[in-house]
Structure 1
Amino acid sequence: MIVHPESSKGGRKLTAHALGMDVDLGRAQRPRRVAEFLRRAGQEDMDLSEDGPISWEGGVPEWWKRPDA
């Protein structure tokens, strides 16, 4: 899974590579939303840290803009 940099619209786009194609999973506003996308995909215990299998582009897992910023 790739968590892309935060967009000007807010949130970070999530994509997964499956069956030879990239799949847009939606946008997450906070790390807990990334965890929710993973839970829905049956990956409840996936490591969300930088050392885990997720590629965090444009910022580490702890870096998110405030919603009112």
Structure 2
Amino acid sequence: MAPDRVIIVYPPDEMGARRVRVDGIILGRARDLRDLTEYLRRAGLEGLDDLDVIRSPLIEWRGGGPEVWRPA
């Protein structure tokens, strides 16, 4: 992933989806890690798998890390 990207994954909403923002643009609501990986791929972050996403220091996880997909 390019180091200049700002990636924020917000807390789960009432349906369990997490809003995804890259460089200030909301890409959509991911329901799971697979959705998030696809949104990042569409944003030009090619060649990622779920493990790359989980370990990435570029992602700011709000409201829990990659293991949280349901509202608290």
> 2:22 & 2:16 partners in 1: Cα distance?
20
> 1:60 & 1:50 partners in 2: Cα distance?
10
Verify the 8 A CA contact 2:16 2:69 in the aligned structure 1: no
How many residues get paired?
Answer: 62
Q: Could you tell me the TM-score, scaled by structure 2's length?
A: 0.72
| Bigger Cα displacement from structure 2, 8-17 vs 25-34 | 8-17
Unaligned runs of 5+ in 1: none
More helix by share: 2
Percent of aligned pairs sharing the same letter: 41
- Of residues 39, 42, 65 in structure 2, which corresponds to 1:37? 39
**Structure with the greater alpha carbon radius of gyration:** 1
Unaligned runs of 5+ in 2: 1-6
Verify the 8 A CA contact 1:35 1:44 in the aligned structure 2: no
Higher relative contact order (CA 8 A, sep 6+): 2
Q: Could you tell me the TM-score, scaled by structure 1's length?
A: 0.74
> 1:38 & 1:32 partners in 2: Cα distance?
10
Q: Which residue of 2 aligns with 1:11?
A: 17
